[in-house]
A and B are shown apart, each in its own frame.
Chain A
Amino acid sequence: MTGRGPAPVPYDSELEPGLAFFLDLVEQIPLRAETILANREHFATIIQPMSTQVGELPVEWEDRVIPGPEGAPDVAITIVRPAGSAGGAPRPAPGVLGIHGGGYVLGTRFFGTGELIDLALRYGTVGIAVEYRLAPEHPAPAQVEDCYAALEWFAANAVELGIDPDRIIVSGASAGGGLAAAVSLVARDRGGPALAGQLLNTPMIDDRNDTVSAHQYDGIGAWDRNNNDTGWNAMLGADRGTDRVSPHTAPARAADLGGLPPAFIEVGSAEVFRDEATDYALRIWAAGGRAELHVWSGAYHGFSGFSPDAIVSHAAISARDSWLRRVFAG
């Protein structure tokens, strides 16, 4: 394993086949400004349609178009719920606002619906997947504003959707984790819907890309430092790295992390986002806030999805489940 930066943390050997699979399937084309479109075309071939994702599972889904942010286009969403629950359950269900990953430049909402299907099956949740606008065609803050508009709609339509407005969480992985953190900040700052939790799976939150871990995974691994540069450049252009970057775009920039919903932060020890995720947790705690942090040994970006049978992935999924039980019990 050789990169351009300081010695990296080695991978858990049980994860290496999954990492190789990830690189072969997802990162065939190094993500650079000039390859964003080619990567989108490739993503379109690997994201399965809902009918395939759901198959015979007892889950139903519905596409909707909801109002976008002021002055912006409408937003497409997909509602995912347990089959037969549309008429309302005895107790309103927990709600999940699911935000897909893809470095702010790739993917569709169907890149993140797998989690919503899983949570509907195991926790009876009603989820919505948001089709937010991508960079660079739509630079920041289009992404977070679309997601926040979806949160407002979700909370305002809780009764129709059969969800408990006191048990809405926002969840996402990678750029989706960054947007989940950003939506939590926006909701706090605008006095918006109260969130019961923010599930930040390997969140992309710091445009500066300058931590030790960001340098350790320069040229190696899944979602390396260079891919990360591409995503942030597309989002921020010339503003990147300056004090003009809003914390609603790069949550690591927030001076105040008090008053946020409980956070679950999960990351691998062998990936770019390790240090920014750890620092985010530390700063929430320093403000007296609630956060749980899990940094999995030798784990690459997205390990639990691409190496689901590894012991460490089982443990990661179990820890996430434990937090969800605690949050949904509240």
Chain B
Amino acid sequence: MTDAVLRPVPFDPEIAPIIEAMATEPQPAMTEETLPLMRGSDTAFPAADAALVARERGIEAEERRIPGPAGAPELELTLFRPVEHSAAASVPAIVNIHGGGMIVGHRSWEHARIADLVEELGVVGVNVEYRLAPEHPFPAGVDDNYTAVAWVAAHAAELGVDASRIVVMGGSAGGGFSAAVALMARDRGGPALAGQLLLCPMLDNTNTSVASRQYDGIGTWQREANLFAWRCVLGEELAGSPEAPAYAAPSRADDLSGLPPAFIEVGAAEMFRDEDVDYASRIWATGGQAELHVWQGGFHGFDMYAPEAEITKAALATRVSWLRRILGLAAPMGDNE
């Protein structure tokens, strides 16, 4: 099959108008020159105030600074906790790593995503700030994220967290980082994670799948942006290389056994579809646990752009179901009745 006849999977009719509206106001291509503009842009996901996000949900927020990786700056975290949560408690923790192609974004874009889970599940949420490429190429970002997860595990008692029930999660680049953190924790004998929640994760630097070619010039995260992002993270030489390190691009890992249970969600109409399905398939082939959901006609990050859509509601309910199973949290009375 040649690119000339490669047809993309159509978008879900309920959310397609979002893409059509975006197409009428095209964004400039992602380049080193336009990156500052992209980072400053808050039209898609306005920067949220953590205290306000917490107040709206009846939970509490706290800003923390923790030591960074050896020789690197401190890290900023935002903690979200149920009210009157004390160190005597022992609840699960979910560490969220924000998206943005490893080159843009800020944790405040996703305060709502993690705060919603704190409100619904009574867990402690941790939202991590990490260094972005290209100013800070691999391994700066993943080292920051690993350090944050290790800090949560080491400070579980102080945080009122059950160290055996820590989940790492993220969307897009945050999903790629989450997968990488899970690999590092396995390889280094680090924190025993209870799960990895990977939302449309950015896993494969080679951009060779069918899906990666179907979304060339359409969608919320397009092929050119992805190619640029990987160049920023890995440099020209390794950007598309099968020799790239697995902690940068988890699809490069030879061995996917011995990992914490994975939840992998992706849209059928986006460029990460095939690499995400492949990651799940390779985990199963080792006898590992993974759950895979590919939502019909979903574009990249559909839940963030279309929070009220039918597929978003279904996807969010499915995530929460998995978290309850992994974390041993009972379903509320009347659920699904």
Interface residues of A (CB under 8 A from B): 6-10, 12, 14, 212-213, 216, 262, 264, 269, 274-275, 278, 281-282, 285-298, 311-312, 314-315, 317-319, 322-323, 325-326, 330
A311 to B332, CA, bound (A): 10
Q: Can you name the residue of chain A whose Cβ is closest to the Cβ of B291?
A: A297
A14 to B322, CA, bound (A): 13
The reply to whether B287 and A291 contact each other, CB–CB distance below 8 Å, is no
- Closest CB of chain B to A178's CB: distance in Å? 20
A203 to B268, CA, bound (A): 19
A289 to B211, CA, bound (A): 12
A7 to B9, CA, bound (A): 34
The reply to whether B285 and A212 contact each other, CB–CB distance below 8 Å, is yes
- Closest CB of chain B to A81's CB: distance in Å? 24
Please choose the segment from B47-55, B130-138, B230-238, B307-315 that sits at the chain A interface, where 4 or more of its residues have CB less than 8 A away: B307-315
- Closest CB of chain A to B121's CB: distance in Å? 13
Find A295's partner among B10, B214, B268, B292 (CB 8 Å cutoff).
B292
Chain B, residues 317-337, CB within 8 Å of chain A (1/0): the string is: 110011011000001000110
- Closest CB of chain B to A96's CB: distance in Å? 18
B:257-309 near A, CB below 8 Å? 261, 263, 268, 273-274, 277, 280-281, 284-297
A318 to B290, CA, bound (A): 19
Q: Can you name the residue of chain B whose Cβ is closest to the Cβ of A292?
A: B296
Closest 8 CB pairs of A and B: A288-B7, A7-B287, A322-B314, A315-B321, A292-B296, A297-B291, A314-B336, A295-B292
Q: Can you name the residue of chain A whose Cβ is closest to the Cβ of B266?
A: A293
Residues of B within 8 Å of A296, CB to CB, are 291
A314 to B335, CA, bound (A): 8
The reply to whether B335 and A297 contact each other, CB–CB distance below 8 Å, is no
Instruction: State whether the Cβ of B192 lies closer than 8 Å to any Cβ in chain A.
Output: no
Residues of A within 8 Å of B336, CB to CB, are 314-315, 317-318
A287 to B210, CA, bound (A): 9
Residues of B within 8 Å of A264, CB to CB, are 296
Residues of A within 8 Å of B325, CB to CB, are 12, 14, 297, 311-312
The reply to whether A213 and B297 contact each other, CB–CB distance below 8 Å, is no
B:78-126 near A, CB below 8 Å? none
Residues of B within 8 Å of A312, CB to CB, are 321, 325
Residues of B within 8 Å of A287, CB to CB, are 7
Find A325's partner among B1, B268, B310 (CB 8 Å cutoff).
B310
Residues of B within 8 Å of A286, CB to CB, are 1, 210
The reply to whether A6 and B335 contact each other, CB–CB distance below 8 Å, is no
Assuming A314-B331, A323-B296, A330-B13, is B289 touching A285 (CB within 8 A)? no
Residues of B within 8 Å of A275, CB to CB, are 281, 284
Residues of A within 8 Å of B291, CB to CB, are 269, 295-297
Instruction: State whether the Cβ of B8 lies closer than 8 Å to any Cβ in chain A.
Output: yes
Find A262's partner among B274, B284, B296 (CB 8 Å cutoff).
B296
The reply to whether B295 and A292 contact each other, CB–CB distance below 8 Å, is yes
The reply to whether B287 and A10 contact each other, CB–CB distance below 8 Å, is yes
Find A315's partner among B284, B285, B311, B317 (CB 8 Å cutoff).
B317
What are 10 A-B pairs at a CB distance below 8 A?
A262-B296, A269-B291, A291-B9, A295-B291, A297-B291, A297-B325, A311-B321, A314-B336, A318-B318, A326-B12
Find B310's partner among A282, A285, A289, A322 (CB 8 Å cutoff).
A322
Most buried by A among B12, B263, B296: B296
The reply to whether A285 and B268 contact each other, CB–CB distance below 8 Å, is yes
A314 to B289, CA, bound (A): 19
Assuming A9-B284, A269-B284, A312-B325, is B295 touching A285 (CB within 8 A)? no
A213 to B281, CA, bound (A): 10
Residues of B within 8 Å of A294, CB to CB, are 292-294, 318
A-B contact count (CB 8 A): 129
Find A10's partner among B289, B310, B318, B331 (CB 8 Å cutoff).
B289
Chain B, residues 191-219, CB within 8 Å of chain A (1/0): the string is: 00000000000000000001100100000
Residues of B within 8 Å of A290, CB to CB, are 9-10, 268, 296-297
The reply to whether B9 and A288 contact each other, CB–CB distance below 8 Å, is yes
A298 to B195, CA, bound (A): 14
The reply to whether A212 and B284 contact each other, CB–CB distance below 8 Å, is yes
Q: Can you name the residue of chain B whose Cβ is closest to the Cβ of A290?
A: B296
The reply to whether B277 and A278 contact each other, CB–CB distance below 8 Å, is yes
Task: Using A278-B277, A285-B273, A291-B294 as known contacts, list a sample of 11 further A-B pairs with CB atoms less than 8 Å apart, ordered by residue number in A.
Answer: A7-B286, A9-B290, A14-B325, A292-B294, A294-B318, A297-B290, A311-B321, A318-B321, A318-B336, A323-B314, A326-B296
The reply to whether B214 and A288 contact each other, CB–CB distance below 8 Å, is yes
The reply to whether A9 and B288 contact each other, CB–CB distance below 8 Å, is yes
B:23-39 near A, CB below 8 Å? none
The reply to whether B9 and A285 contact each other, CB–CB distance below 8 Å, is yes
- Closest CB of chain B to A199's CB: distance in Å? 12
- Closest CB of chain A to B72's CB: distance in Å? 36
Q: Can you name the residue of chain A whose Cβ is closest to the Cβ of B331?
A: A311
Residues of A within 8 Å of B13, CB to CB, are 330
- Closest CB of chain B to A264's CB: distance in Å? 8
- Closest CB of chain A to B318's CB: distance in Å? 6
Residues of A within 8 Å of B210, CB to CB, are 285-286
Find A319's partner among B277, B290, B293 (CB 8 Å cutoff).
B293
Residues of B within 8 Å of A330, CB to CB, are 13
A293 to B268, CA, bound (A): 9
A330 to B293, CA, bound (A): 22
The reply to whether A322 and B7 contact each other, CB–CB distance below 8 Å, is no
A53 to B137, CA, bound (A): 62
Q: Can you name the residue of chain B whose Cβ is closest to the Cβ of A8?
A: B287
Residues of B within 8 Å of A14, CB to CB, are 325
Most buried by B among A293, A296, A318: A293
Most buried by A among B12, B281, B286: B281
Find B314's partner among A6, A212, A289, A319 (CB 8 Å cutoff).
A319
Find B281's partner among A278, A291, A319, A325 (CB 8 Å cutoff).
A278
A7 to B280, CA, bound (A): 16
A322 to B313, CA, bound (A): 9
A53 to B335, CA, bound (A): 25
